[in-house]
Amino acid sequence: MRIDVITIFPEYLAPLGVSLLGKARERGVLDVHIHDLRAWTADVHRTVDDTPYGGGPGMVMKPEPWWSALTAVTEAGPDTVQPTLVLPTPSGRRFTQRDAQRLAGLPWLIFACGRYEGLDARVPERARARIPVEELSIGDYVLAGGEAATLVIVEAVTRLLPGVLGNADSVTDDSFAVGAMSGLLEGPVYTKPADWDGLVVPAVLQSGNHPAIARWRRDQALRRTAANRPDLIAGLDPADLDGRDREVLAELEERDREVLAEMEEWDRETPAETDRDPNPPPSPSTSP
Ligand code: JB8
């Protein structure tokens, strides 16, 4: 896979030259090129931004340097394959593991890292007439620019390439990966010592009973997913749940109902704040 990154902060992308990715690059699995957008400016100040039409805060990235850069980078690459332009932006579609798997199957990605209020909208519009363009958001928060999002997407994609990760098996049952535990978060993992200052590894994992271990891991995955990502539980295909799965989820729902009932009881029996003494006398239940 070839990856080009265009940015006004090339040093921000330095991690792409080291460690795991570095090995893949050495082996020829990955070919990464970082470009300074200012190389395609024409003025003495190397200007890349200007004020927004229609007013408003901040600055917008000028289209001409971007178009020159994209044209040059596209023409410098292999002419046998089409590049896909990736634009990290908080206004994009949410980037998921499915996107990572799909992008990992493409031969050539060009990342355009915006800064300020982003690129002039005519850049992706014009690029779309020539090559696939993907505007992607890595999450519901706002970064100062596209560089950190590019690092995230490049890492999520390249670790799926053969030869990038040391152990190819360890990618298959990841949280969010498509597979047997698909749609669930991973449960807790343990290694030696079995007793670490009195904190012991669950006995089932030391039992050698592999069906019991698989079941325990699935229970833990369901519990962790229900606690941390209820949206993922809601999105599970009922056909993927067995009887024990339903039992675990029903148990958690029952606990939820009990807690809610307790809270409603507290609400009914607790006087409104406006009716309470702001300086109640000390009582055994409120003082240590
Ligand atoms: C200017 O939050 B982000 C992100 C934020 C940005 C730009 C690109 C991406 C460009 N601000 O993923």
pLDDT attached to residue 190: 98
pLDDT category at 52 given cuts 50, 70, 90 is very high
Is there a catalytic annotation at residue 202? Answer: no
Indicate which residue's Cα is closest to atom 6 of ligand 1: 145
> Is the confidence at residue 172, as pLDDT, over 60?
no
Does ligand 1 lie within 6 Å of residue 115's CB atom?
A: yes
Helix 147-158 and helix 19-27, axial crossing angle in degrees, nearest 10? 60
For residue 284, the CA-to-ligand 1 centroid distance in Å is 54
Q: Closest by alpha carbon to 249, among 233, 260, 261?
A: 233
> Is the confidence at residue 22, as pLDDT, over 80?
no
Percent share of the chain, pLDDT over 70: 91
Tell me which DSSP letter residue 271 carries.
P
For residue 198, the CA-to-ligand 1 centroid distance in Å is 46
> Is the confidence at residue 166, as pLDDT, over 80?
no
- Kindly state the average pLDDT of the residues 247-267: 97
- Kindly state the average pLDDT of the residues 117-135: 98
* 282 token code pair: 């000390």
> Is the confidence at residue 15, as pLDDT, over 50?
yes
Count of Cβ atoms closer than 10 Å to residue 67 Cβ: 16
Does ligand 1 lie within 6 Å of residue 149's CB atom?
A: yes
Ligand 1 atom, smallest distance to 149 CA: 12
- Kindly state the average pLDDT of the residues 282-286: 60
Between CA 80 and CA 188 the distance in angstroms is 45
> Is the confidence at residue 274, as pLDDT, over 50?
yes
Percent share of the chain, pLDDT over 90: 81
For 177, half-sphere exposure in the C-beta direction (CA atoms, 13 angstrom radius) is 15
Q: Quick check: 151 and 15 in contact, CB under 8 A?
A: yes
Is there a catalytic annotation at residue 288? Answer: no
Is there a catalytic annotation at residue 215? Answer: no
pLDDT attached to residue 3: 97
> Is the confidence at residue 236, as pLDDT, over 70?
yes
pLDDT category at 216 given cuts 50, 70, 90 is very high
The residues with which 94 forms a beta bridge, in sequence order, are 137
Does ligand 1 lie within 6 Å of residue 87's CB atom?
A: no
For a mutational test of ligand 1's pocket, the pick from 37, 143, 154, i.e. the residue with the most ligand atoms closer than 8 A to its C-beta, is 143
Higher pLDDT, 243 or 182: 243
Longest dimension (CA), the chain: 82
Q: Closest by alpha carbon to 153, among 75, 236, 92, 82?
A: 92
For a mutational test of ligand 1's pocket, the pick from 120, 142, 150, i.e. the residue with the most ligand atoms closer than 8 A to its C-beta, is 142
pLDDT attached to residue 170: 54
- Kindly state the average pLDDT of the residues 7-18: 91
For residue 24, the CA-to-ligand 1 centroid distance in Å is 27
- Kindly state the average pLDDT of the residues 76-85: 96
* 95 token code pair: 């980037």
pLDDT category at 286 given cuts 50, 70, 90 is very low
Is there a catalytic annotation at residue 257? Answer: no
pLDDT category at 19 given cuts 50, 70, 90 is low
* pLDDT (tens digit per residue) in 58-67: 999 999 999 9
pLDDT category at 173 given cuts 50, 70, 90 is very low
Domains of the chain: 2-168 (3.40.1280.10), 173-273 (1.10.1270.20)
- Kindly state the average pLDDT of the residues 249-270: 97
Does ligand 1 lie within 6 Å of residue 183's CB atom?
A: no
For residue 39, the CA-to-ligand 1 centroid distance in Å is 21
